[in-house]
Amino acid sequence: MKKILAGLALSSALLLTACGTDAPEEAAEGGLQDGTYALEELNFGGTGWKESLEIVVDGGEITDATWTSVNEEGLNKLEDDNYQETMTKTDGVGPQDFIPELEEALVAAQDPADVEVVTGATGTSEKFVEYAKQVVEAAEAGNTETIEVDNAAE
């Protein structure tokens, strides 16, 4: 009887492993765990913007990335047509161009180190990559607590 029960227990364990369970999926070593991971600045930087990054991981892959920059009035850079026009005139590219480009590049590359700097938006590109590295590290650890960056010195 003990052999039959042991066999049933083993069969059940194998079946649950093969079919999956409702338990959170453990990521493969070095892999990303499913969930939403975020980083946000605590202060408005020297340029007057507070920035944040959120990524969504599904199936062990980054499926969405959202970069947000808001000023003290709460206006998002993506919605600020005057800022877009001014940056495009001076730098050749505005946030309505480079922010989606950075977000899409991270989703496509799956690795912040492979996201290229956008010409004309070097500072934001470098910050995006730096913050993406931190958020990806959180996703590898499965830590969904928002990372807070004290950028008061900027």
Structural domain boundaries in the chain: 27-149
Residue 40: pLDDT above 60?
yes
Sort strands 35-41 and 147-149 into parallel, antiparallel or unpaired.
parallel
pLDDT of residue 47: 86
Q: Per residue in 68-126, pLDDT tens?
A: 999 999 999 999 999 999 999 999 999 999 999 999 999 999 999 999 999 999 999 99
Q: How confident is the model at residue 2 (pLDDT cuts 50, 70, 90)?
A: very low
For the entire predicted model, the pTM comes to 0.80
DSSP state of 124: H
* Whether 98 contacts 120, CB under 8 Å: yes
Q: Which CATH class is domain 27-149?
A: alpha beta
- In angstroms, the CA 139 to CA 25 distance is 13
Q: Dump the DSSP string for 85-147.
A: HHHHHHHS--HHHHHHHHHHHHHHHSSGGGPPPPTT-HHHHHHHHHHHHHHHHHHHHT--SPE
* Whether 11 contacts 39, CB under 8 Å: no
pLDDT of residue 29: 57
- In angstroms, the CA 21 to CA 39 distance is 30
Q: Which two tokens stand for residue 58?
A: 């599904």
Q: Which residues pair with 64 in a beta bridge?
A: 56
Strand ranges (DSSP E) for the chain? 35-41, 49-58, 61-71, 147-149
